[in-house]
Amino acid sequence: MIKAQSIDSLTNFQKNTRQFVDLLEKTKEPLVLTVNGKAKLVVQDAESYQKMLDQIERARLIEAVQEGIRQAEAGQTRPAEDVIRELKAKYGL
């Protein structure tokens, strides 16, 4: 959820970039920038952004594993040899 104090105008950001960079590094929270009162951009420190990307990737991997387990439990499996043969053909191995 976006906090009210995490919203500011792009104009103010441009005028006070150094202060906003310091704030972003300190709070580790994203900042929504507005143009004419409407949200247009989100800025965030690089470390927090990378952490968010890592969390998203982890969630995707967990979902993929869970889907594989559901398929296996439903009997939707194939022999490993067939899968390996297809992967070798697909990737020229």
- Stretch 60-69: mean pLDDT: 97
17-46 pLDDT, tens digit each? 999 999 999 999 999 999 999 999 999 999
Quick one: which of 66, 22, 33, 29 has its CA closest to 51? 29
Q: Which amino acid is at 41?
A: L
Its pTM stands at 0.72
Residue linked to tokens 């004419």: 36
Given a cut of 80, is residue 5 above it in pLDDT?
no
The average confidence (pLDDT) of the chain is 94
Quick one: which of 12, 70, 62 has its CA closest to 41? 12
Task: Please report which confidence band the pLDDT of residue 47 belongs to, taking 50, 70 and 90 as the band edges.
Answer: very high
Q: How far is CA 78 from the centre of its chain?
A: 32
